[in-house]
Structure 1
């Protein structure tokens, strides 16, 4: 199993409370930097769909 480095947004700076991501074995893994033992794994297609929805504001809550 190949291992790649965890990456976080450049907007996070030195903050340790951020989401980290890495590609591994054809999948995408996500974790919270301060809760590293919990890892979510998904396909590249599903991750791309999530990113598209986030950028489009699909998950914004309006009161």
Structure 2
């Protein structure tokens, strides 16, 4: 996986209040755009599992 630049969701529009993502050395990094100094690094498989769980409603009871 080649290193990429930070990308934000098209749903965030022109605001800086969004989650950004990029790939670095085979890992996936996530950050909140207004807290750019804090970065979460994970594997593509772990991120895919998290997104699948979110879409399936596994975390709805935390809302």
Q: Normalising to structure 1: TM-score of the pair?
A: 0.87
**Richer in helix (by share):** 2
CA RMSD of aligned residues (A): 1.7
Shift of 1:62: 7.0
Runs of at least 4 residues of structure 1 off by over 3 A? none
The CA distance in 2 between the partners of 1:21 and 1:27, in whole Å, is 11
Q: 1:62 to 1:19 in 2, by over 3 A?
A: closer
Structure 2 residue ranges without an equivalent (≥5)? none
Please state which structure has a larger fraction of its residues in strand: 1
TM (norm. structure 2) is 0.87
